[in-house]
Amino acid sequence: MASTADIRNGVVLNIDKQLWAVIEFQHVKPGKGGAFVRTKLKNVVTGKTVDRTFNAGAKIETENVDRRDFQYLYADGDSYVFMDVADYDQLTVSSTVVGDAANFMLENQAVTVALHDGNPLYVELPASVTLEITYTEPGLQGDRSTGGTKPATVETGYQIQVPLFLEQGTKVKVDTRTGDYLGRVN
């Protein structure tokens, strides 16, 4: 058991048999009344975000979550196979745990997998990845970079919105959290 003084960004709490990661925290000491800790928590399994307030000094249960570097190898039916870069052990993770990260994963890509008691909780990607556009409608004469957007399919099969002037075969940088186009890559 720990107390609210141990709350830091990235700490995982066990609340009602669910694991919640601390995204933000703030110790508040008002002029009147007791101090408290205001937190923003993210459920590590579902991704749901909630605000929660704890009284200062309250006992909380922290969980040990091991974040390790893995390399994505390949998709195997409804699961994904990763290799631990430290000891070369392979780990098979279900598609429900991988979630939206599958839209941005290419073979041999470095990822971080969070493990709790040997069970994978979630897959963390870099903030952005470089993907090649495999299909998009051709741009029309007169399309400008300040104009609108059009749908484009990237090499993972995911569809993003890109500026009108981009063509098939162009490498683009994509935000892995939102799926937004960030720019061209030379």
Q: What length does the chain have?
A: 186
Q: Could you tell me the fold of the domain covering 66-124?
A: OB fold (Dihydrolipoamide Acetyltransferase, E2P) (2.40.50)
Q: In CATH terms, are 66-124 and 128-185 the same topology?
A: yes
| Mean pLDDT (the chain, rounded) | 89
Q: What is the pLDDT of residues 41-60, one digit of tens each?
A: 988 877 789 999 999 999 99
Give the rounded percent of residues in the chain with a pLDDT score beyond 90: 58
**In this model, does residue 176 exceed pLDDT 60?**
yes
Contacts of residue 136, Cβ cutoff 8 Å, sequence gap at least 6: 150, 151, 152, 153, 162, 166, 167, 168
Domain spans of the chain? 2-63, 66-124, 128-185
**In this model, does residue 15 exceed pLDDT 80?**
yes
CATH among 3.20.19.10, 3.40.50.1950, 3.90.950.10, 2.30.30.30 for 2-63: 2.30.30.30
User: Measuring CA to CA, which residue among 184, 177, 179 is closest to residue 163?
Assistant: 184
CATH number of 128-185: 2.40.50.140
**In this model, does residue 84 exceed pLDDT 80?**
yes
Q: Reduced to 3 states, what is the DSSP secondary structure of residue 158?
A: coil
- pLDDT given at position 117: 86
